[in-house]
Amino acid sequence: MPPRTVVIGVDSSTQSTKAAVIDAVTGELLAVGRAPHVVTGEGGARESDPEVWWRALCDAVASGLKESGLSASSVTGVAVAGQQHGLVVLDRSGRPLRPALLWNDTRSAPQAAALTGALGGPEAWVARTGTVPVASMTASKWQWLRENDPANAEAAAAVRLPHDFLTERLAGTAATDPGDASGTCWYATGTRAYDPELLGLLELDEALLPPVADTGATRIGSLTATAAEALGLPAGIAVAAGTGDNMSAAVGLGLGGAGLLDHPVLSLGTSGTVFAASRARPASTALSGFAAADGTYLPLACTLNCTLAVDKVATLLGLHRDDAVPGGEAVLLPFLDGERTPDLPTSSGLLTGLRHDTTPQQLLGAAYEGAAFTVLRALDELSRACGLDPADPVVAARPLRLIGGGALGRTWVETVRRLSGRPLIVPGSGELVARGAAALAASAAGGGDPVAVAARWSAGAEDAELPPVERDTESWERIGSVLDRAAEPLLGG
């Protein structure tokens, strides 16, 4: 029997790093190493030390390899998928000048609004980048840094995204990919290159940015001796360009040019996202018109408040997260960290519709409903971005793939099912972001198209398929009415 060959896919998220050790031939998940991150900040601030990410990556890889029981010599490639949009500024030695500004840091909301106006409004940005600046976007964070920490902005010898920073540590080569670059608002999805006019607007020298590889699976170098020693892996193995976490999840699901197109996915994690891989270039001010890791596009809507916000409400009520029941007349919009979709960066949570007979369990259910509604509402716009008519019964009946930590929760699943009225598929393959990164690594090591690789790996997975239930239009309309009426006077919209 020939020796087993494996690849390692790294999921460097907001809260932790996971390193999946995956059989390069069969796609079998052999082990997952884990290590936590530290997020700091009060109010709208959310920051992390990038060196913590690197140490967590080293620890997670070592842990995963040990758990697998395999020799390090069996590893042929590695790739990183990272949290999107974070701003990392480095000195000339490649060390962080300050903590990274994370995707959910909302302090740059004024800068986002100013940038939107400076180019002529939302439509002008969509035409260039596919995306309107909001506080989450890297361009807005760069502007915030220039205005609020000018010394470090001026001292920056390199500007990176979180996954770029880690990939450069692995290969000793600066690189990014079209997928993660498309979340910066200084990369043009039409020309697939940095936009000189936008860089001028931002007063950002292109020399500070990493070159953009053709795809997330492009081999941008080999593991350096220094990184190999830190990770306990062989020097010289393939390092892929890697990508953003949402793009990697799409690869892990087999979405893309060599797999499923225009099939919607709902991810329930710290953030809530809805996305689909498409050949149509997105053009909607309501969505982020990202590029995918494989050369297609990834129209996406993202909310800031999802599982953590609902868990916080459960804690405040002294309930277990699955103690919830439908909210009844109560509406709870759990915008505890401001909100990105809709663009309400300074908003806070809102509760209305209380009665004498309202129970704590209903309040928790209302929090689930508010969080799920916010991301589900973008589904119709997502369909249109893919060139589909959301009113077409065939489109409306297309299954919604449910992923992320929330997909493992009974109440999350039933809330999405009830509010969407759509059939759900909960994929049997776990660790989709890390799995997608592993497929990128396998491709960089000579394994072929990464989406085809991931689709082949997951061919035998046992997906859970749930038929549709009657849509709860009463709750849907009640939540929508509250959100629309409250946005400007109460939520800061």
- Which residue shows structure tokens 């946005």? 487
| Distances, alpha carbon 358 to alpha carbons 17, 302, 349, 361, 482, in Å | 40, 30, 18, 8, 18
Question: Three-state DSSP class for 26?
Answer: coil
Strands 238-240 and 75-82: parallel
Q: How far apart are CA 105 and CA 394, in angstroms?
A: 39
Q: How far apart are CA 230 and CA 57, in angstroms?
A: 10
- Please count the CA atoms within 13 angstroms of the CA of 64 that sit on its side-chain side: 31
- Which residue shows structure tokens 């909310």? 303
User: Helices marked H in 69-108 — which ranges?
Assistant: none
Widest CA span of the chain, in angstroms?
Answer: 69
> Is 322 an active-site residue?
no
Residues 6+ apart with CB under 8 A from 483: 333, 342, 373, 374, 491
Q: How far apart are CA 405 and CA 44, in angstroms?
A: 24
What is the chain's percent helix, strand, coil content, to nearest 5?
40, 20, 40
Between vectors from CA 290 to CA 288 and to CA 292, what angle results, nearest 5°?
Answer: 150
Find the helix or strand (DSSP H, E) in which 289 lies. Answer: strand 288-291
Q: How far is CA 230 from the centre of its chain?
A: 27
41: alpha, beta or left, given left = phi > 0 and alpha = psi -120 to 50? Answer: left
Dig out the tokens for 425 from the structure. Answer: 């598929």
Sign of CA dihedral 210, 101, 343, 115: negative
Q: Which listed residue (11, 245, 262, 294) is catalytic? A: 245
Report the catalytic residues.
245
